[in-house]
Amino acid sequence: MIAGWQIVRAKAWRGLLLACLFIFTYSIFYGKLLAQENVDRTGYVIGGSAGYGLIDVHTAEVSKDSYGSFALGFRGGYAVNPHAVVGIELNGWTLKAYDLEDPSKGESVSNLSLFVNYFPFEEIPLYITGGAGQLSYTNNSPGVNGRDTGGSWFIGSGYEIPLSKEMMLVSQFRYSQGNFTGGDFEVYEITVGINWYSGR
């Protein structure tokens, strides 16, 4: 019972920490947050982001809770209208760094997902994001069945800060979860990146 309560407390604290980092990112660029009059959120979209994630991974051989990881993602899509962007995203989290000279090193979770970003407000570039797709788990450690696939989904929120008419600085917070044949994962992450819109 006590152990379960400690896990709940740890998850609550990490969620609060990432939310505070998200708010701090907004405060740095406060002067540009509402400067939306010259933004052109139309056409094709190309972007990428990097950040920090707190990930739990459980398999028959591995159990990691609240493990800090590097998060990286790339996306491409299309702005159906100024309120909705749809596309494909490749993203993932590194738990152990890979080494080209040592094939026994490296552990990661990656996703290939369809996503939707929805902007509910006319003047504020806050969006709600969600998506689902296929995950791949890789663990090169000796004696581990370290390659598996499954399904995943995510939900979150973000904010686009205009750097120019087509270029946006993006800060995003989201929660992801997935299951594969031999285990599961969940991760809370905060990232910063760039979105470029081609325009009409």
Residues 154-192: tens digit of each pLDDT: 999 999 988 888 899 999 999 999 998 888 999 999 999
Check which CATH number belongs to the domain holding 13 and give it.
Answer: 2.40.160.20
> Which pLDDT value is given to residue 181?
86
pTM (two decimals):
0.77
Question: What would the two tokens of residue 18 be?
Answer: 């990432």
> Which pLDDT value is given to residue 4?
52
Q: In whole numbers, what is the pLDDT of the chain averaged over residues?
A: 83
Tally of structural domains, the chain: 1
Q: Whole domain around residue 16: which residue ranges? A: 2-197
Mean pLDDT, residues 57-82: 86
Q: What percent of the chain has pLDDT over 90?
A: 47
- Distance set, CA 161 to CA 74, 126, 127, 193 (Å): 18, 9, 12, 10
Q: For residue 41, how many C-alpha atoms fall within 13 Å in the half-sphere facing its CB?
A: 26
Q: Name which residue leads in pLDDT, 71 or 6.
A: 71
Q: Is the pLDDT of residue 88 over 80?
A: yes
